[in-house]
Structure 1
Amino acid sequence: MSDGRRVRVTGAASGIGAQDVACADGPVAFHHSQAWQALARHPALDWGRTLFAPNGERLSRTARIAALCRTLADEVETTLRQGQFPLVIGGDHSVAVGTWSGVARGIGQPLGLLWIDAHLDSHTPESSYSGAVHGMPLACLLGQGDRRLLGIGLPGAQVSAGHCVVLGARSYEPEEIDFLRRQQVRIIDGEEIARRGFAACLDEAVGIVASAPAGFGVSLDLDAIDPRFAPGVGSPEPDGLPATDVRTAWRWLAGLPGLRALEIVEYNPDRDRHGMTAQLIADLIGETVAG
């Protein structure tokens, strides 16, 4: 970190927001991986807690996700208030509701957010084709969705729509596009990146999110990266971003003064090959502490 703060890693072990529940194993598997063990002695790094969704047959999936997100929001807010830098490892992308609600509460107002993802994650329960909550977190953070997932940090939106960018999307439904356009969220999809180049698109995206008055965050769904370089993800999509581009971007982002928190989600160890994806996560954490 450019400001010298200690980075506190929190695991958010949820798979119940997705159709493939194996992402629930991601944080624990990464915490026990050789890739993490090689980083663990770094003086600026600390693995705090790994949080789990509550069990119970009486609770619906959404209720369990909401409970985890409330606990995660408290953990992230506490990390900020203790002067440390939050880095959340998921788990399916529904945990983003907790991460960014906690940041918004900690800084006292909605923040800017760079959402790097193969998907838009902007369905509501009414528009969702699958009902999977990991396809809804960005809408929730913008103030729309299941009421149990709203207002966890601040009343209303946790993220400033005018300072929010989705980067790298290449698989989505028209309802999501319509919703984000109404919100005036900037969408830079895979086709635009191919046409303009990643560096130019990233520069525009950072200009938008980093202009948020209270600062910004970055949420990386590992499926944004081409599965040749990151096979261990919850919902792999072909033709994604090169891992080298993402590492370069991460290094730049980690050094920016307005950055409030980072999040890496959708690690599925069942689909990883030879620890490739775990090593990529470790590389990104390494860029965080070096930034």
Structure 2
Amino acid sequence: MSRRPEERVQVLGGSMDLVRPEEVFHFVAGKIAARESAVVANHNLHSLYLIRKDQKIAEFFATSDLIEVDSVPLIFWARIVGRASRRFHRCTYLDWRDAFWERAIREDWKVFFVGGAPGVGEKAVARIQADWPGARIRTHHGYFDVAPGSAENQAVVDAINDYRPDIVLVGMGMPRQEVWVLDNQAKLGPCVTFTVGGAFDYEAGVQRPSPRWMGQVGMEWLFRLVVDPRRLFTRYCVEPWHLMGPALRDVRRALARQVSSRRVSDAARAEYVRASDLARSDSLGGR
């Protein structure tokens, strides 16, 4: 995919691409056809908080090839501050699941999933293949020593490379999955790596996803908070306050763009009036 300049925007201190799922798949298909590696990340309010606190997470997003937006509130905020964001720019595994597996089967993509507790990946694969017979998937649980150079980590990298996948889905939760991809992507053969959080936990039925309508209206966070308040209270009720500084900067930039646009419009209008007056004077002088 040839990224248009207006697709990548700066919002709440982070860079992200305003792309639809079909544009993501077009990008992925191009990388696979060229046998090139790439990383597809996703931003939400939690990751925007983390890039301010963790240098490795900041490096992960700085080096990612495509950054989806995984947050309707973030999309709404981007639109408020003058970015051309729409609801269809939300890209998450659960939103593009069906289109992804349909494309994977049609293109004969091989997929490797890393993450989840032992047994979760296998259960998820069984459910996926029940819906999409012919899907080519191999898995490895995420409960291993991820330290660079550890024997367990090397074994996982070797298993991925032996399989030679086109797509690697990493679902270890944020920020563990991002750090793992940052540390290991260069060790993998040519493939496109996605960070997908708890996607396969949902596939396996060990976690309950929110109704999709709640995601579309930006209330998925509330559903997840009610289901797991102890783990998610800080993420949803405390961390967003740390983004007030970037939010105020977004507002100042939006106001500056409006002032600049108004000045350009006023200058263009003045130039038009001046040109019209000159034309009228020339016409009168020629009589």
Q: Same fold (TM over 0.5)?
A: no
TM bucket (normalised to shorter chain) is 0.3 to 0.5
TM-score by length of 2: 0.37
Higher relative contact order (CA 8 A, sep 6+): 1
TM-score by length of 1: 0.36
Name the larger-Rg structure.
Answer: 2
